Amino acid sequence: MRPINQNNALANFHTSVIGMSECGKTSVVKKKVIQPTDQVAIFDPYGDYEGKLAGRVVRSYHSLRDFAEAMIAGRKTRQGFKIAWNPQHETKPVDFDNFCKVAWGLGNGKHPKPLKLILEEVAEHSKTAGKAEGYHGEILRVGRKFGLHSINIFQAGQEVSKTIFRQCKYSYVMMQMLESDERYLQEKMGIPAQEISQLKKLEYIRKVNKEWSKGKIRW
């Protein structure tokens, strides 16, 4: 499948969420990025989205085929949905690419709702820190023209494609494991490393284009 109805007027909503393990990345996605009426596809290799997301039940599928069929049916409506692919095997980059292939094919620049893509563990499923490859690269570079909003979640900036930093208009920077991680993000994003180093669990720096501000997730 290929996306349809290219629409150059659509804005870029690609987002990155960057932080060490257990800092609250998934909480940011659940509280700040996803709304109840959104249409959402989730690459969920570890079952982080079982239960509800933005007050709606997440429908999880172990089979990629079943996931794809549910997504196709969902995109034929104007209703919000939360649909996850939760494979039961150890996932590899090819699995991530297959998920992105399904999402890419469901892009539609004239659909009344964008399709938000929660992409967990991006670094673990990336082959290179250079130019993004495969369908993930297509989504990052031209997906906004087809109403695709990727949400790229990972622990360390050095481990993912530089395309993410170039294409994500929105970013949430959270606690980092190493000083070198903080310096790398300063270089790539322009946020002072000393500001990043002060972050605690559930705290974040939200960056939109070149402007940034601090915040905290509250449950």
Distances (CA, A) of 94 to 41, 46, 79, 136, 207: 17, 16, 30, 11, 30
Q: What are residue 94's phi and psi, to 5 degrees?
A: -65, -35
The topology (CATH level 3) of 15-216 is: Rossmann fold (3.40.50)
- Cβ neighbours around 168 below 10 Å, total: 22
Rounded average pLDDT over 78-106: 98
Q: Residue 112 — very low, low, confident or very high, per pLDDT cuts 50/70/90? A: very high
Q: Residue 219 — very low, low, confident or very high, per pLDDT cuts 50/70/90? A: confident
Rounded average pLDDT over 88-116: 98
Position 98, amino acid: N
* Model pLDDT, residue 126: 87
Rounded average pLDDT over 38-58: 97
> pTM for the full model?
0.96
CB 12 within 8 A of CB 142: no
Q: Is the pLDDT of residue 128 over 80?
A: no
Q: Is the pLDDT of residue 130 over 80?
A: no
Beta bridge partner(s), residue 53: 56
* Model pLDDT, residue 1: 83
**Strand 56-57, strand 170-173: pairing:** unpaired
